[in-house]
Copies of this chain bind each other. A is one copy, B any other.
Amino acid sequence: MDEKTKRLDTDERTALILQTAETLFEAHGVEQVSMHQIAQSAGVGQGTVYRRYANKGDLCMALMHRQFHKLQQHTAMILAQPVSFRQQLKDIVKAHIHFLESHVAFIETIHDTAMCAEKKQLFYESQPYQFLHGVLCTLLNKSVAAKQARPIQTDFTAHMMIASINPKVYLYLRKKKQYSEREIVDSFAQSFIDPLYYK
């Protein structure tokens, strides 16, 4: 079979779906747009959309792919800076909170679909989660090994840290409680990072 023509067709279709979704999301808000609507607008069947993306969260994930990649590159850059582990930890948390701030709608949808429903917590298996958890763990481990931080269960601690900065509570603090992004970043460092370190 001629890979070229076939591939091009399906790839074009995929691009069309992504494009359509992005436009609709922008116009009406992620929450308000249904998968049916996306298929309709793109002029394809629902099956065609679902065959590519298992659900709206999946689709959002695909749309965010570039951004996640950049975030991870930025994280790697922070890890290469010649500053203390503690500072790296703070910088990474800050970067991730800023990322959350910038893309809440998408992240909320990803979070919802991967968490709620009986999707069996596959959120925790996702690459971005694993990546962040790995990075936090490593930093905590190094800190403990260097006797800069108290001895703690680093794996557990990293999970808890990520859990505490989730889109739901973040939106609540921002919108209902009127916290600023800055306050959240600083308070987090103050309550959950600094206390782990000696001195």
Residues of A within 8 A of B (CB): 31, 112, 115-118, 121, 123-124, 150, 152-153, 155-157, 159-161, 163-166, 168-169, 171-173, 176-177, 179, 183-184, 187-188, 190-192, 194-196
Q: Name which of A117, A160, A161 has the most chain B CB atoms within 10 A of its CB.
A: A160
CB of A156 within 8 A of CB of B176, answer no
Do A168 and B31 have beta carbons less than 8 Å apart? no
Q: Within 8 Å CB of A171, what residues of B? A: 121
CA distance A48 to B124 in the complex (A): 38
- Write the chain B residue with the least CB distance to A154: B191
Tell me whether A168 and B121 are in contact (CB under 8 A). Answer: yes
A176 touches B121 (CB 8 A): yes
Q: Are A152 and B121 neighbours in the complex by a CB distance under 8 Å?
A: no
User: Given the interface contacts A31-B118, A166-B163, does A156 sit within 8 Å of B172 by beta carbon?
Assistant: no
